Amino acid sequence: MGDTIGQILPSAVGVAISPFPIVAVVLMLVTARGRVNGPAFVLGWLAGLAIVGTVLLSAASGVDSREPGEPVMWVAVVELVLGVLLLLVARTQWRGRLHKGGEVKMPKWMEALDTVSPLKASGVGVALSALNPKNLLLAVAGAAAIAQMGISTGQQVVAYVVFVLIATIGVGTPVVIYFVIGEQSRELLDRLKNWLAWNNAVIMAVLFLLIGVKLIGDGISGLSR
Q: What pTM does this model have? A: 0.83
Report the domain count for the chain: 1
Nearest to 205 by CA among 80, 88, 84, 99: 88
Helix axes 34-62, 169-181, angle to 10 degrees: 160
Band of pLDDT at residue 150, cut at 50, 70 and 90: confident
Residue 146 structural domain: 2-223
Element (H, E) at 42: helix 34-62
Distance CA 146, CA 156 (A): 6
Q: Report residue 62's pLDDT band, with 50, 70 and 90 as the boundaries.
A: low
- Of the chain, the end-to-end C-alpha distance in Å amounts to 21
Gap between the Cα atoms of 167 and 156, Å rounded: 16
Asked if 130 and 45 count as a contact pair (C-beta separation under 8 A), the reply is: no
Band of the pLDDT at 65, cuts 50, 70, 90? very low
Specify the pLDDT at position 219: 83
